[in-house]
């Protein structure tokens, strides 16, 4: 009996020990699973949904021309005194060059004076070409593809740039030709550019962007938008929780996308770090 009791007690203790080990392993596993399965909230950059100006544009190029220009030809030996033409601006009616015969060169309009020498050996090389350019306004004649005929109209805004300048000049469509060139399938339009600082020089090749279909709409950075098939969506953030919102997109300008529907002005959207974000997940905002 004593031997049987000892064996029975041993079996009970053994079974209890096995149960305790199994239970301990189970709970320890749950502890570590919970501990390591909880990932830290992904860091994201946010931006506020605000209204911006969006538009479409036509881009082309053309050569800068002075709004008014005149050329005078004079004989060098008929000039009184020394020439003073370097970076000289004259007013209308001012004497540009005084001549011995009394037939002085008079400015027909306000502008900048310049000169061109005639090459030696050319007939009349004793002559001098004097130019007068009104540079306050510059005109640029551009060719626009005929499919834009229904869009082009006078007073449309234009932006003009050139690699020589670190700025954008403002202009507008002044006039449009009444005919389409059948050989190029394009229509001629004239752009009038403000050059009140006399920076643009006639003859420069300028890039012209005609602005049309302007609209003031809410927009988000392009990086905030995710496109999957025919669906586009963004994540808005509320109390550090990301929420997926399907949107309808409009125009794109300057790295931003206009939003027709889906979110509202003032919403906070995730603009960077979207790849790690899931709907209804917690996020860590990195920028205040």
- For residue range 113-143, what is the model confidence (pLDDT) as tens digits? 887 655 444 455 677 888 899 999 999 999 9
pLDDT, residue 120, reads 46
d(CA 111, CA 68): 9
Provide the residue range defining the domain that includes 258.
Answer: 43-54+216-285
Domain with residue 230: its CATH number is: 2.40.420.20
* Final residue in a domain of this structure, among 215, 247, 268: 215
Q: Token pair 């006039």 is at which residue?
A: 175
Same domain, 211 and 169: yes
The residue that leads in pLDDT, 77 or 227, is 227
pLDDT classification of 32: cutoffs 50, 70, 90: low
Same domain, 149 and 209: yes
- Reference 70, options 30, 119, 129; nearest CA is 129
Tell me the two tokens of residue 156.
Answer: 């449309």
The answer, as to whether pTM is greater than 0.75, is no
d(CA 143, CA 139): 13
The residue that leads in pLDDT, 253 or 209, is 209
- Reference 171, options 192, 150, 187; nearest CA is 192
Residue 123, domain member (yes or no)? yes
Residue 10, domain member (yes or no)? no
- For the segment 148-177, the average pLDDT, to the nearest whole number, is 94
270 C-beta neighbours (distance < 10 Å), count: 24
| Mean pLDDT of the residues in the chain | 86
Tell me the two tokens of residue 120.
Answer: 């030696």
The pLDDT of residue 80 is above 90: no
pLDDT classification of 4: cutoffs 50, 70, 90: low
Same domain, 223 and 240: yes
Burial of 123 (0-12, 13-18, 19+ CB in 10 A): exposed
* Final residue in a domain of this structure, among 186, 215, 244: 215
User: Is residue 191 within 8 Å of residue 208, measured between CB atoms?
Assistant: yes
Residue 29, domain member (yes or no)? no
Same domain, 147 and 208: yes
pLDDT, residue 40, reads 82
- For the segment 89-109, the average pLDDT, to the nearest whole number, is 87
* Final residue in a domain of this structure, among 133, 161, 176: 133
Same domain, 147 and 205: yes
Same domain, 141 and 190: yes
What percent of the chain is modeled with pLDDT above 70?
A: 90
Residue 149, domain member (yes or no)? yes
Residue 28, domain member (yes or no)? no
Tell me the two tokens of residue 127.
Answer: 């002559």
- Reference 171, options 122, 206, 134; nearest CA is 206
Domain with residue 117: its CATH number is: 2.40.50
d(CA 145, CA 158): 16
User: Is residue 138 within 8 Å of residue 193, measured between CB atoms?
Assistant: yes
Concatenated DSSP letters for 63-105? EEEEEEEEEEEEEGGGB-S----TTEEE-TT-EEE-BTTS--E
Residue 180, domain member (yes or no)? yes
The residue that leads in pLDDT, 85 or 139, is 139
The total domain count for the chain is 3
Residue 159, domain member (yes or no)? yes
Domain with residue 181: its CATH number is: 2.40.30.170
Q: What are phi and psi of 217, to 5 degrees?
A: -135, 160
Same domain, 107 and 143: no
What percent of the chain is modeled with pLDDT above 90?
A: 50
Residue 1, domain member (yes or no)? no
d(CA 187, CA 153): 12
Contacts 24+ apart (CB under 8 A), 194-199: 194/137, 194/169, 194/170, 195/135, 195/136, 195/137, 195/138, 195/169, 196/136, 198/112, 198/135, 198/136, 199/165, 199/169
Report the range of poorest mean pLDDT among 30-39, 167-176, 265-274. 30-39
Same domain, 78 and 123: yes
Same domain, 192 and 173: yes
> How far apart, in Å, are the Cα atoms of 281 and each of 74, 154, 259?
82, 52, 24
pLDDT, residue 63, reads 96
């Amino acid at each position: 009996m004593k031997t049987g009791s000892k064996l029975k007690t041993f079996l009970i203790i053994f079974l209890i020990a096995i149960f305790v080990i199994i239970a301990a392993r189970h709970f320890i596993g749950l502890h570590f699973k919970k501990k390591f399965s909880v990932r830290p909230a992904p860091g994201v950059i946010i931006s506020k949904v605000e209204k911006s100006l969006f538009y479409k544009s036509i881009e082309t190029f053309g050569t800068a021309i002075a709004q008014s220009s005149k050329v005078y030809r004079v004989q060098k030996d008929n000039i009184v005194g020394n020439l003073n033409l370097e970076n000289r601006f004259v007013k209308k009616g001012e004497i540009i060059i005084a001549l011995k015969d009394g037939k002085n060169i008079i400015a027909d309009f306000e502008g900048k004076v310049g000169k061109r020498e005639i090459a030696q050996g050319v007939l009349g090389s004793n002559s001098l070409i004097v130019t007068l350019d009104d540079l306050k306004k510059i005109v640029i004649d551009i060719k626009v593809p005929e499919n834009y005929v229904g869009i082009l109209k006078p007073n449309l805004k234009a932006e003009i740039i050139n690699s020589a300048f670190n700025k954008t000049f403002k202009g507008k469509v002044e006039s449009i030709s009444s005919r389409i060139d059948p050989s190029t399938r394009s229509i001629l339009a004239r752009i009038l550019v403000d050059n009140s600082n006399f920076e643009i020089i006639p003859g420069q090749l300028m890039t012209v962007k005609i602005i049309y279909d302007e609209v003031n709409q809410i927009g988000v950075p392009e990086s905030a938008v995710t496109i999957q098939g025919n669906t586009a969506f963004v994540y808005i953030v509320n109390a550090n929780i990301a929420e997926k919102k399907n949107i309808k997109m409009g125009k794109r300008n300057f790295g931003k996308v206009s939003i027709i529907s889906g979110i509202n002005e003032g919403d906070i959207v995730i603009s960077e770090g979207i790849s790690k974000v899931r709907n209804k997940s917690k996020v860590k905002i990195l920028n205040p």
